[in-house]
Amino acid sequence: MRKYCLILFVFSSSFLHAQKDSIQKGWAATFTVTAVPIGQPGFGIQPGIEYRFNERYSLLSEFALRANKKNSKDSSTFDKHYFKVKSELRYHFFSKKQRWSHDYAAFQLSWASRKFINRNDFYYNRRHDDSVTYYSQASVNSPVMTATVQFGSVITNGRFALDVFIGAGGRFINTTLTNVENPVRGKEPRGSDGPHFPASYSFAGNTIMLQLNGGIRAMWHFYNFKHPRKR
């Protein structure tokens, strides 16, 4: 009986040790350069962290801050405030042993706060309207929420990795304009050099638009990262 218990103990210990070695989990730091959609698009910094639960699932969370100037001489937008948070639940696919990368699919949610003063511009009262309200200055509060499906590849042969990704989904904007100075109703502007695409904050109220994204993310794993492989 003692011999049986000893064999069982050794077998269980070996099994648990093997499971511990085979299950990939731990933390990673991430960094991305992102666009700030206010006026002439600026850029922001987007640090984050990822926690890997096992070979298949991980959770990425990031936040973004504006990195360019609050006021630009060549821009009609001033006193710009921008902050974004997002989370992404990922499902990782197995890859071949020879590959230095593996693919994943993910579902991402984000929310961004953007507030600024806009000058010499216009806004639509409704999404599909042929008339606009011109103004000399207004305070704009236009938060944005997005929901997207993401696809990407993590490329690495060690702890440092590059994450190449693309995504598509919906963008939900809620724009409020206050302190509107010199409002004048008129026809929507039509450029002679082609179609005109107004900014998403040019529509008062709620607006839904197509959301597309893509980029490259730098990652540093605080554990011995290994690609998910079939056993």
Separation in Å, CA 177 to CA 80, 139, 209: 14, 6, 19
pTM of the model: 0.82
Query: Which residues touch 19 (CB under 8 Å, ≥6 apart)?
Result: none
Let me know: does 107 contact 100? Beta carbons within 8 Å: no
Number of other residues whose CB lies within 10 A of the CB of residue 110:
21
pLDDT at 125: 87
Residue 48: name the closest of 70, 64, 25 by CA: 64
Tokens of 21: 């070695």
Of the candidates 156, 158, 169, 162, the residue with the CA atom closest to the CA atom of residue 213: 169
Residue range 34-71, pLDDT digits in tens: 999 888 778 899 999 999 999 999 999 999 998 877 66
Domains of the chain as residue ranges with CATH: 27-221 (2.40.160)
Q: Say if residue 72's pLDDT is above 90.
A: no
Q: What pLDDT was estimated at residue 195?
A: 64
Looking at the predicted structure, is the pLDDT value of residue 22 above 70? no
- The rounded distance, in Å, linking the Cα atoms of 111 and 150 is 16
Residue 162 near residue 217, CB atoms below 8 Å: yes
Q: Is 3 exposed, middle or buried (0-12, 13-18, 19+ CB in 10 A)?
A: exposed
E-only strand ranges, the chain: 26-36, 42-52, 57-66, 77-92, 101-123, 131-141, 144-156, 160-181, 184-187, 205-221
**Pairwise CA distance, residues 152 & 217, whole Å:** 10
**pLDDT-based confidence at residue 114 (cuts at 50, 70, 90):** very high
- Name which of 85, 88, 80 is nearest 112 in CA terms: 85
Query: What whole-number distance in Å separates Cα of residue 158 and Cα of residue 165?
Result: 19
User: Which position has the token pair 């990704």?
Assistant: 165
CB 177 within 8 A of CB 134: no
Nearest to 189 by CA among 115, 121, 141: 121
**C-alpha torsion sign, points 153, 106, 83, 119:** positive
Instruction: Tell me what pLDDT residue 191 has.
Output: 63
